[in-house]
Amino acid sequence: MCAMSPTTYIVGAGGQLGTALQARSSTSSAVRALSSADLDITDAASVAAALAGLGSDDVVLNCAAYTNVDAAESDAARAAAVNRDGPENLARATAKARARLIHVSTDYVFAGAAATDDGPRRTAPYEPDEVTGEPETVYGATKLAGERALLAADPRATVVRTAWVYTGGPDSPDFVGTMRRLEAARDTISVVDDQTGSPTYAVDLAVGLWELADPAHRDTATGAVVHATNEGNVTWYEVARGVFEEVGADPARVQPCTTAEFPRPAPRPAYSVLSGASWAAAGLTPLRDWRVALHAAVTAPEPAHG
């Protein structure tokens, strides 16, 4: 009797990262994409049913999350259910089956000074083993709680923190896609220049996650946290200028402003750059420079519509 081939389950398959994972699959194993319509990660029974066939050679890639940072401030219960309880439910299932779990988290787990705070600003990228402190947002607090609950339930799981993820297509709701639309609609735009991070192209992150999920890396970063972003760090203002340059527009049409000029329900960190040293140390391929990735995102051909 032939052994069943391994399966990689993509949880949160309907989101931007889940979509990129499906498009960039490099595995010879079967891939099962699970969207929120197929699996409610907040419901332990739903998780158990969807992962009923999970085996010890299988991998679960979790990119499901409540990511609306501002909405989470007034929807804390739902954010906690998705970001904390969901990963724990998945971890219980993978621990029981002795399958592998790779969970995507965020730079927002670090307390870091808010962009509107006075005083000295951090300038050194965060390492995975640094004390996170108490995150200033509901989103960050629930994602941190999810990391802890997941690793407690499945001590062999891997947490991959990333930041500022975008797809960048002309219709994408993310920052890069929004800048492309605003360039076509306005003479000038104002973009905050006091928040620094590492823009991460969803396609590049997907490629990195597939490398981590490969059987050759089955014992890589087990029970650990690693950071994966495109190389380099910039402000949102600099990203916007880059977008304008890529579409052939004058970057001088982008004007810098402060976070205080555009208050939001959730405070934004002044500095949330993640160090990629842990990713490289694990023997994984570093993600390329953010500017090279931005060029690839903006010049990527639009997907065909059936």
**Residue 29: per-residue pLDDT:** 73
Domains of the chain: 7-168+198-232+272-289 (3.40.50.720)
Other Cβ atoms closer than 10 A to 29: 16
More confident residue, 194 or 121: 194
User: What's the pLDDT band for 1 if we cut at 50, 70, 90?
Assistant: very low
Catalytic residues: 139
User: What's the pLDDT band for 40 if we cut at 50, 70, 90?
Assistant: very high
**Residue 302: per-residue pLDDT:** 66
Determine contact, residues 287/228, Cβ cutoff 8 Å: yes
Report whether pLDDT(52) > 70. yes
Report whether pLDDT(57) > 80. yes
Beta carbons within 8 Å of 71's beta carbon, 6+ residues apart: 265
Report whether pLDDT(4) > 70. no
> Please, which residues bridge with residue 235 across strands?
196
Percent of the chain exceeding pLDDT 70 equals 96
How much is the average pLDDT of 238-250? Answer: 98
Query: What's the chain's average pLDDT?
Result: 94
Our CA angle for 125, 130, 134, nearest 5°, is: 100
* pLDDT tens digits along 139-186: 999 999 999 999 999 999 999 999 999 999 999 999 999 999 999 999
Residue/partner pairs of 45-53 with CB below 8 Å, 24 or more apart = 47/89, 47/90, 47/92, 47/93, 48/93, 51/9, 51/90, 51/93, 51/94, 51/97, 53/7
User: What's the pLDDT band for 131 if we cut at 50, 70, 90?
Assistant: very high
Determine contact, residues 196/292, Cβ cutoff 8 Å: no
Beta carbons within 8 Å of 100's beta carbon, 6+ residues apart: 58, 59, 60, 94, 156, 157, 158, 213, 218
Sign of CA dihedral 86, 20, 161, 190: negative
Claim: this prediction has a pTM higher than 0.85: yes
Report whether pLDDT(58) > 50. yes
What are the backbone angles phi and psi of residue 189, rounded to the nearest 5°?
-135, 155
Choice among 96-105, 115-124, 237-246 with the minimum mean pLDDT: 115-124
Report whether pLDDT(26) > 80. no
**Residue 120: per-residue pLDDT:** 75
